[in-house]
Amino acid sequence: MRRYSLRGVALVYLASILVGPLLIVFWRTFQHGVGPAWDALSAPDTIHAFKLTLIITAIAVPLNTAFGILCALTVVRRDFPGKGVLNAFVDLPLALSPVVVGLALFLLYGRAGWFGPWMTRHGIQFLFALPAMVAATIFVSLPFVAREVVPTLREIGDEQEQAARTLGAGSWQTFWRITLPSIRAAVMYGVILTTARCLGEYGAVAVVSGRIQGVTETATLRVQERYESFDLAGAYAISMVLALVAVLVLLTTNLLKPKEVA
Amino acid sequence: MLPIAALVSASRQGGAHGFWQAITEPEAIAALKLTIGASIVVALLNAVLGTITAWVLVRDDFWGKSAVNAIIDLPFALPTIVAGLTLLALYGTRSPVGIDVAYTRAAVVLALLFVTLPFVVRTVQPVLEELDTEMEAAAASLGASEFTIFRKIVLPNILPGILSGVALALAKAVGEFGSLVIITGNLPFKTEVSSVYIFGRLESGDSAGAAAIAVVLLVISFALLLSIGAIRHYATRYDRA
């Protein structure tokens, strides 16, 4: 009896908070057929927003992957003073408000900021342009690869790496032939999480982008803009695409997970 | 790291006095109170419901369990702005189930519940999986009631997991922005949380004021991160010996 009541509580809770809202949006998007949804998605500004989101993601994900692996290797394989602090800093973006991240970049590169005047003099448009949006996205999606790779690196130990070294492999060769293949699943998992975060980032990008329609408006910002212009159909349609991507991400991560256990 | 330094320095532009004035602004205080209050409510709800969900996922067995297990992570993958919009579609003015919480404080709690849902489940689940059922069986054979078994055997084991999940949820809730902008309407003194307040300050050109509140949030985040580290340290105290 207790088992069933607990199961009921858990399922009702999940249904009302997670599944229900998504289904409603799905239904609302297509309640007047596919036509209006398609029209909303093919508006030039919307297409531009999606393109911009993809460009930012394409820049941020490879950079964060490289950085994440490097960070994980440093934290696990080396010992140095201040390691704990580095560890805490890598996790900081997870705990920090995206608005605070955006604000920090704004203050650093803004007109009165530390680097702002120098950039204005050299004609570099950072804030309210692609560079700032990429920087904000990199910042918020920084920890994912490192967090996935660190436990795997710990688990596999460094015996194989040492063996490779004694056989005369350079550190570069050791990394490509020994380390990378054994952490591949973790890296993939981290990359998927990073991609999801990049595609969906809102707060930090909202602060540094200036939200200029058709110029610096990403897909998530476009959802907000459509909603505020009372174009619910448009907002729902874009949301639906983003939600589908999220579901896809979930499916992929679930396919990857069992392999890690084995 | 540099951005953080710039943030701290900007918050001190107006001196200690300016900083103090910025964070004691009535609207700022109202926002901060709401942020912390709602986050604590959400964290407590998460502690209970998250633990129940984790328990059901580990100990119970039913058709479709793996699908349920998969959707737990949905809030991590779904863009926060989309989360806000979907919640509004079901619990807003045009709610098909007749629950309208749009632009109220309940909406703040609802949105925060959504975005923090996975944390406690995902920190408790692995611990429960590893927990040996023999201890519980032994306790039951000695005549302990189900409640006593939970309180004396299960709870002490999963408590560190619950606590670190709660701390993560708190950190996320305190800084949440995207899911709140649409559903709460951002009414000052009523549904405006700190991150939205920061955004508003910045848009009206008061970057020093925005930075001051941001530093407060930053300190809270850091404190929570450190406490998670401390919980982990405490939980593994026997393994490290």
Listed by start position, the domains of chain A span 1-31, 34-261
ipTM above 0.85, yes or no: no
Most B CBs within 10 A among A9, A17, A207, hence the mutation to make, goes to: A17
Q: CB distance A24–B89 less than 8 Å?
A: yes
Beta carbons within 8 Å of A162's beta carbon, 6+ residues apart = none
Q: Which of B62, B80, B83 sits opposite A7 (nearest CB)?
A: B62
Q: Which of A22, A91, A105 sits opposite B225 (nearest CB)?
A: A91
Tell me which chain B residues have a C-beta less than 8 angstroms from the C-beta of A113.
6, 10
Q: CB distance B52–A113 less than 8 Å?
A: no
Torsion of CA A65, A67, A71, A77, to 10 degrees: 80
Tell me which chain A residues have a C-beta less than 8 angstroms from the C-beta of B10.
107, 113
Q: The pTM is what?
A: 0.86
Q: CB distance A6–B226 less than 8 Å?
A: no
Q: Which of A9, A105, A193 sits opposite B52 (nearest CB)?
A: A9
pLDDT tens-digit map of B198-219: 988 888 888 788 888 888 998 8
| Pick from A48, A21, A37, A147: nearest CA to A88 | A147
- A99 pLDDT higher than 50: yes
pLDDT score for B4: 67
**Contact in structure between B158 and B58 (CB atoms under 8 Å):** no
Most A CBs within 10 A among B36, B72, B85, hence the mutation to make, goes to: B85
Enter the tokens of residue A136: 């904000």
Q: Which of A6, A14, A96 sits opposite B55 (nearest CB)?
A: A6
pLDDT tens-digit map of B141-158: 888 888 888 888 888 888
**Contact in structure between A198 and A252 (CB atoms under 8 Å):** no
Beta carbons within 8 Å of A4's beta carbon, 6+ residues apart = none
pLDDT score for A194: 92
For residue A248, give the chain B residue with the closest CA. B77
CA distance B149 to chain A (A): 14
Q: Per CATH, which fold does B23-236 belong to? A: MetI-like fold (1.10.3720)
- A262 pLDDT higher than 50: no
How many helices (H) and strands (E) would you count in chain B?
14, 0
Q: What residue segments make up the domains of chain B, in order of their start?
A: 23-236
**Contact in structure between A251 and B70 (CB atoms under 8 Å):** yes
- B66 pLDDT higher than 70: yes
**A117 CB neighbour count, 10 Å cutoff:** 12
Q: Could you tell me which CATH number the domain at A34-261 has? A: 1.10.3720.10
For residue A230, give the chain B residue with the closest CA. B182
Tell me which chain A residues have a C-beta less than 8 angstroms from the C-beta of B61.
none
Enter the tokens of residue A227: 């909603």
Exposure class string for A246-256: b at 16+ Cβ within 10 A, else e: bbebbebbeee
